[in-house]
Structure 1
Amino acid sequence: MSVSATDPLDRERAHLTASRAALRAMREDVEALDIKDVTANWVNSLVLQRQIDDRIKALADLAHTPLFFGRLDYLPPTQHGQRFYIGRRHVHDAAGDPMVIDWRAPVSQPFYRASRKDPQDVRLRRRFGYTGGELTAYEDEHLTDPSEAERTSKLLQAEIERPRVGPMRDIVATIQPEQDAIVRSGLSGTVCVQGGPGTGKTAVGLHRVAYLLYAHRERLARTGTLVIGPNRSFLHYIEQVLPALGELEVQQATVDDLVAHVEVRGEDPAATAVVKGDARMAQVLRRALRSHVTLPTEPLMVVRGSRRWRVPAYELEEIVRELLDRDIRYGAARDALPQRIAHTVLVRMEQAGEAPDDRVQDAVARNAAVKAVVKECWPQVDPAKLVLRLLSDADFLAEHAAGILTDDEQRLLLWTKPPRSVKSAKWSAADAVLIDEAKDLVERTHSLGHVVLDEAQDLSPMQYRAVGRRCTTGSATVLGDLAQGTTPWATESWTQALGHLGKPDAAVEELTAGFRVPKEVIAYASRLLPHMSPGLAEVRSVRENPGSLTIRHSTSLDEDVVAACREALAREGSIGLIAADTRVAALAKALEAAGLPYLSPGEETTADARLTLVPASLAKGLEYDYVVLDDPSAVVAAEPDERTGLRRLYVALTRAVSGLTIVHDAPLPEQLT
């Protein structure tokens, strides 16, 4: 096919073809590397080969992912009046000249920030439209032309509204200025993003990780990055975003994964879980741990050859008290104690005219008598056994919770039938967090360079502490919406949450512009805000989609819900049937009887079906083109209190991208009418 010299679309397609060829050549160059004679040993060879394999994966050309999505033409003399194509990764030709600029590069920033009021030396910004990976359209903004009227980008709007079949996509082509400011914030500071439904907070957090890996790759390669989500379904949903941006090494986990020191087989009543998740439990654990330290009452006698060296009890006591006063971790202090005792013995040796060195001190520290003192005064403590004793021994708990927990709270903590051992205990998720806290009191938890914490509003104070331990020397991106807090221990204030996280000075940014949920739907859901989260700003949706909300009263609920799902399947895109957890089994039978195949949350990445049956408890963070919501009153009634129920309903109402159909037989909650 010949390329027209005058048709801009043909020229852009030619540049896309050339860019794909250049990317393929870059990949082939890496594949052709011969490392047989450049490594010193087999270990170095394995490490280098892994780096090469990762580079090959990062250079993959994904057929349905546009290589570039925009273009910037700068005014001369800025950037020498050059033209830059903006894409998901850097591509250069055989001479090393850039054909596509990584969206994270400084020269790309005006693509997201430039405006007519502040063109940032950009003459023209061009957006590209794609269909099935093929470049089919373009749209220009002449930022320095006063005669051109301000208008909304149709391509930008189309990309935001594109049907969402399968896992979550990146938003690299549609990042808005207020989102870009958060994405490009520095590595040293922690950022908390309060964002209502559809404001893109999850995508902003993931793109911030990608940006930080670009700007600080060597540092984060050493220290590591981690994305923490609320559950496995959510992590499956977002797992393709970072690989699409060329980032393959970011780990993903839930809070339960982080604290999996014991097998969780039990579940706490809500009131018990609230107490276990309270930050005061850290004080109780610290007291209980330090109670194992006892002051020596007998002198120490160290025999070395024909000489005996005596350390009186009061000197041993001073050493133990000094370590307690330093408030270092229990295990580190225990390791230091024999060396401190040995140093005291060495002082006596020097006073007697001997000249001991470090080897002598180490030998004294390993002396049986010294070991016996350490074992007696500062015994080893197993974190799980410590928590087991607190939860099963009323006297031990009362001693260390005195003045911290009330008698009623202590009674909530105690097991009615104490287990005999750590292995036989039916630990709950909250217990595992307590064990993690105790483990950190004994030995410092490894800290990462950056942690992203999504749906953070649902964490307990003790869970915040568990996450904070993973980034004590690094930074964090905290994402959440206070209005969507649905756990009994959900936070009511980001100030409190960030304090528990150990990041009290974090900047709190609020996203209020909605790009996902249609205006009609978010306005309907926002009727709940005054009743569950007064004071929170309502999301202002930019999505105009008349007819996106349908409410149907039913006399045969299961049949009408199935009919609504069938109607939604006639449209393009993904469909989520959201229902109270207690209704899921009945709806599953109804769908099977109607011959409608469906998925469970998290299976969207591996199956072709477009309908997902979603328990309301797992809906948070997910999105579907069309949502059928079964019986809102049942969603509210399934929760322990009305406020939590309304928040759960708010989450369910705001999962739709294009349309929401509510089917109900019971009266709607009065807050919606």
Structure 2
Amino acid sequence: MEDFQSAYQEEKARLDRTLDTIDKELVRLRGIPVYTGHDYTEQVLEAGRDQQRRQLSQSGQEPYFGRLDFEEKGGTRTPLYIGKVGVGGETAQPIVIDWRAPVASLFYSFTGGDSAVYEAPEGLIEGLVYLKRNIVIRKQILERVVDTYNSEEEGPAVSDEFLLYRLGENKDNKLRDIVSTIQAEQDQIIRAGRNSALIIQGVAGSGKTTVALHRLAYLLYQYKEQISAGKMIIFAPNRMFINYISEVLPELGVGDIQQNTFSDWASNVLGLDEAPSDGPEALTEWFDHRSQNRLDDHELPGRFKGSLLFRDLLDQFVQQLEAACLPEEDFMPWDGAKLPLTTIKLWYEEEYKPYPLARRKERVLARIHRWVEMELKGAPSAAALKERKSRAAQREKAYAKKWPDLSPLPLYKAFIGAKKMQGLQLENMGAGIPKSILKVTQANLKKNIIKEEDLPALLYLFTRVDEIDGNLRFDHIVIDEAQDFSPFQIAVLDRFCKGHSFTILGDLSQGIHYYKGVREWNEMQVLFKPEETAYFALTRSYRSTMEIISFANNILRQGVGTDLLAVPVFRSADPVKVIKASGAERLPVIRRALDRIQKGPYKTAALLTRNLNDAQQLHKELSGLGYDLNLIDGRKSEYEGGISVLPVYLSKGLEFDAVMVTDVDEEYYGQQDAKLLYVGATRALHELWLLHGEKLPAYVTVDDPEIAVTAWPEN
């Protein structure tokens, strides 16, 4: 106890000195008039001062979260304080070291031992770690001091006490940063080099989304001269998820990073009036047990149109288009003047060949116009000049119309066979497309209906025939829930990305969208050279209790047949409740459970139904009984916290203090839907309920009373 009091008083005095230094520096910086002139040097200096003001203001409430006592080889023992933002001092040693700095990596990677090493710009730095201390400061008040390593004390090399303390906290309606509890395997991903495609397989609750967001903050710090926040983008599964993760980057002092869904972004690039999507109705149809078909992969539109085979067919189409695009005729601006086809072909096939097709077309037409202008100089009279100008303008316009429209949608319609392109005799590409997919796609395109599955092809045609504007190129791309992306989507995005700089993260065990996405990560890995990609597996789950993770692992083991199982952090709570409640007894049981949850300490809870119709009906019934519930139906762009009712497939990526999954019956959650139940079960942090009817799915077992029980809790 004395040691704790001594440590607390030491840190309290250090905090007071730090806050005093920050306050004085802020006063000094705020006393300097803001420069608004046009001198470039002064503008740069003002930008630096403004950044310092913002960083110090941010640091003033919670200046640091950790302390590491490190002795570099040949040096002296130095206490290093780690925070979200670095704070300089009067000496060479900063008051607070930015968590992204090289030496700060020791705070995350050190797991005990005689020595520690970190990588700095000047090479590997070796030394000794004497103390690793977690510090909780909220609103300038020192709340907690926990030593997770002390070389002078006996005990575990590195204790998980502080991690367990943070994991035990209840959730609100936003994802939060984990900068004070980043684990060694997560830090390795965060600090990986930028010019590679990182593919991260992470079990539910492994923190993969948060790790990816921290990686963005790290890349901006490490490569600040080479990349910018505005040239980064996060592709999220839906708009509500974007809102859910919206506060992590600002907490880390990072702004301006684009966050979007693939559908919305692609539609904006293509200039579509409305973004196509797998809307609530379409998803309900897919996930309703009555419409679960078992089509082969090549018969599923999303799988086929997302395949590299589909991309190869488009490549063949573009090659034919290039060969047939040029009108096979001389150009005659007026009678007696002729630009031979051989000359035009020379321009098209040789001089402008390095350019994409649309730019070649543009340059050939511009070259013809310049030739016409030169020829006009030989007009014998003003009257002849006027007549030739008029005639030439008409014939240039008519000649340009003989070229095909090279915008993506007309090209895609021609490729699918939904529309013929004037003057072009192209081989029918439909021979390589399954007839069932071809027929439906042709019918849709004739009605100008574009499906989400068509977007990769439209984008690919855009990149093949036109130049990508610099404003559309990214320095880095993050793709969340990447198991629902297709290889073709990744290949298209790579054309918009510099240096194959990707963070691709997901969980194959949560691949509930049977009709699209990937089944194995090598479907994406083959898109990159071996030296351009790296694979990481995050197997440790920090979200749920041991009981919930063990229960969910059993679903994977017996229902999915996978070895991608989660390793729990030692955090124990109540067993999973598997309660029989169907028919007339279903609603009273839900009410009883809700009342119990509301009396507890939880901030968030979820009722997960099998489909949207069930969610709407349950929300209506419970709201009529006076419960304050949020219905999540796929249309909202904001997650509001509290108690939510939603179909299980819309819960992916979210987490709640307590979760109740309804109608867990063989009829609704058969073997083919084990992944769906796994998603539902792993949304819970502290408490999980499953309600079922007469027959549970065969893969759901309650053999171990320490993991799952079938009786009501006593209190």
TM interval, short-chain normalised: 0.7 to 0.9
Measured in 1, the distance between the counterparts of 2:19 and 2:692 equals 51
1:557 paired residue among 586, 590, 615: 586
Letter in structure 2 aligned against 1:84: L
Summarize the alignment of residues 397-408 of structure 1 with structure 2, pairs less than 5 Å apart: 399-408=427-436
Alignment-mate amino acid for residue 11 of structure 2: E
CA distance in 2, matches of 1:107, 1:151: 18
Quick check: 1:119–1:144 contact (8 Å CA) kept in 2?
no
Pairing 1:75–2:92 present? no
Larger mean CA deviation between 54-63 and 407-416 belongs to 54-63
Is the Cα–Cα contact under 8 Å of residues 199 and 503 in structure 2 kept in the other structure? yes
Matched, 1:577 2:607: yes
Q: Determine the C-alpha separation between the residues in 1 that align with 2:575 and 2:137.
A: 25
Residue 661 of structure 2 corresponds to residue 614 of structure 1: no
Residue 588 of structure 1 is matched in structure 2 by: 619
Q: Which residue of 2 aligns with 1:135?
A: 142
Contact 2:560 2:674 in 1 (8 A): no
The one of 599, 611, 627 equivalent to 2:630 is: 599
CA offsets per residue over residues 334-380 of structure 1, 9 Å max, x none?
234357779999999xxxxxxxxxxxxxxxxxx96995697266444
Residue aligning to 2:190: 183
Amino acid at match of 2:661: L
Q: Secondary structure at the match of 1:112?
A: helix
Structure-1 separation of matches of 2:9 and 2:663? 52
Distance in 2 (alpha carbons) for counterparts of 1:58 and 1:151: 31
- 1:486 corresponds in structure 2 to 512
- Change in Cα spacing, 1:53 to 1:467, as seen in structure 2 (3 Å) is farther
Paired residue type of 1:282: R
Deviation larger for 334-343 or 124-133:
334-343
Shift in Å at residue 101 of structure 1?
1.0
Distance 2:638 2:690 in 1: 26
Deviation string for 1:372-421 (max 9, x for gaps)? 697266444222233345557277799442442133332232216933xx
**Residues of 2 paired with 1:536 and 1:670: CA distance?**
19
**1:78-101 residue CA offsets vs partner (Å, 9 max, x unmatched):** 553211111111123466752211
Shift of 1:605: 7.3
Q: What is the identity, as a one-letter code, of the residue corresponding to 2:521?
A: W
User: Where does 1:520-559 land on structure 2 (aligned, <5 Å)?
Assistant: 520-530=547-557, 533-555=560-582, 556-559=585-588
Of 658, 664, 682, which residue of structure 2 is paired with 1:632? 664
Residue by residue, what CA displacement relative to the aligned partner does 1:14-38 show, whole Å, maximum 9, x if unpaired?
3223333444445455544434464
User: 1:92 and 2:92 equivalent?
Assistant: no
* Alignment partner of 2:655 out of 623, 629, 633: 623
1-structure distance, mates of 2:587, 2:233: 41
**Counterpart contact for 1:616–1:635, Cα < 8 Å:** no
| Aligned mates of 1:379, 1:24 — CA distance in 2 | 66
CA distance in 1, matches of 2:229, 2:9: 45
Q: Name the TM-score, length of structure 2 as normaliser.
A: 0.78
- What corresponds to 2:465 in structure 1? 442
Contact 1:86 1:102 in 2 (8 A): yes
Per-residue deviation, 1:540: 1.0
1:352 is aligned to none
Q: CA deviation at 1:449?
A: 0.6
Give the counterpart of 2:179 among 162, 172, 190: 172
CA 244–418 in structure 1, closer or farther in 2 if over 3 Å, else same: same
* SS in structure 1 of the partner of residue 497 of structure 2: coil
Where does 1:493-512 land on structure 2 (aligned, <5 Å)? 493-499=520-526, 505-512=532-539
Letter in 1 for 2:662: D
Which residue number in structure 1 is paired with residue 704 of structure 2? none
Per the alignment, residue 596 of structure 2 pairs with 567
Q: Which amino acid aligns with 1:332?
A: R
Residue type at the aligned position of 1:249: D
Identity across the alignment (%): 25
**Secondary structure, counterpart of 2:67 in structure 1:** strand
> Is this contact kept in 2: 1:653–1:660, CA < 8 A?
yes
Q: Which amino acid aligns with 2:175?
A: M
Q: Does 1:61 align with 2:49?
A: no
**Deviations 1:249-286 (CA, angstroms, capped at 9, x unpaired):** 21211111211232146867974444443444434444
The change in CA–CA distance for 1:432 and 1:537 in structure 2 (over 3 A counts) is closer
1:560 is paired with a residue whose SS is helix
Q: Is the 8 A contact 2:473 2:496 kept in 1?
A: yes
How far did 1:517 drift? 1.9
State the 1:433 CA deviation. Answer: 3.8
- 1:384 partner amino acid: L
CA contact (8 A) 2:113 2:157 kept: no
Distance in 2 (alpha carbons) for counterparts of 1:544 and 1:159:
11
Deviation of residue 54 (structure 1)? 6.5
CA distance in structure 1 between the partners assigned to 2:309 and 2:43 by the alignment: 48
2:162 to 152, 155, 162: 155
Q: Which residue pairs with 2:684 in the alignment?
A: 656
Whether the 8 Å contact between 1:160 and 1:174 is mirrored in structure 2 is: no
Distance in 2 between the 1:496 and 1:236 partners? 30
Query: 1:289-336 CA distances to partner (integer Å, 9 max, x unpaired)?
Result: 553743443335689xxxx9965323433443447975x522222234
Q: Is the 8 A contact 1:632 1:664 kept in 2?
A: yes
The 10-residue stretch of structure 1 (196-205 or 568-577) with the greater mean CA deviation from structure 2:
568-577
**Aligned ranges 1:94-493 → 2 under 5 Å:** 98-117=94-113, 119-120=115-116, 121-129=128-136, 134-142=141-149, 144-145=151-152, 147-150=154-157, 152-221=159-228, 224-260=231-267, 261-262=271-272, 263-264=274-275, 271-288=300-317, 291=321, 293-300=324-331, 311-322=339-350, 328-338=355-365, 375=400, 378-390=403-415, 393=418, 399-415=427-443, 418-419=446-447, 425-445=448-468, 446-487=472-513, 488-493=515-520
User: Deviation of residue 516 (structure 1)?
Assistant: 1.5
Judged with a 3 Å threshold, the aligned counterparts in structure 2 of structure 1 residues 379 and 32 are, in CA distance, closer, same or farther, namely: farther
- Matched with 1:360 is none
SS of the residue 1:90 aligns to = coil
Structure 2 counterpart of 1:387, one-letter code: Y
Give 1:441's aligned amino acid.
Answer: R
Instruction: After TM superposition, give the deviation of residue 566 of structure 1 in Å.
Output: 2.1
- The offset of 1:245, in angstroms, is 0.9
Distance 2:646 2:44 in 1: 42
* CA distance 1:146–1:594, shift in 2 (3 Å): same
Question: How many residues in Structure 1 have an aligned counterpart in Structure 2?
Answer: 635
1:453 partner letter: I
Letter in 2 for 1:297: E
CA-to-aligned-CA distance 1:127-147 (integer Å, 9 cap, x gap)? 124577732332225554485
Distance 1:539 1:642 in 2: 20
The aligned amino acid for 2:503 is T
**Deviation of 1:502 (Å):** 8.9
Q: 1:192, 1:506 within 8 Å by CA — same for their partners in 2?
A: yes
SS at match of 1:435: helix
Q: Distance in 1 between matches of 2:46 and 2:37?
A: 11
Question: 3-state SS of the aligned residue for 2:233?
Answer: strand
- 1:25-44 alignment to 2 at 5 Å? 25-36=24-35, 38-40=37-39
Query: What is the RMSD computed on CA atoms of the aligned residues?
Result: 4.0
Contact 2:203 2:538 (C-alpha < 8 Å) held by counterparts: yes
CA distance in 1, matches of 2:8, 2:98: 22
The whole-number CA distance in structure 1 between the counterparts of 2:586 and 2:46 is 58
- 1:491 offset after TM fit, Å? 0.2
Letter in 1 for 2:487: P
Q: Name structure 2 gaps, 5 residues minimum.
A: 117-127, 287-299, 376-391, 702-715
Compared CA separation, residues 416 and 618, structure 1 to 2 (3 A): closer
1:471 corresponds to which letter in structure 2? C
Distance 1:418 1:310, change over 3 A: closer
Q: Secondary structure at the match of 1:73?
A: strand
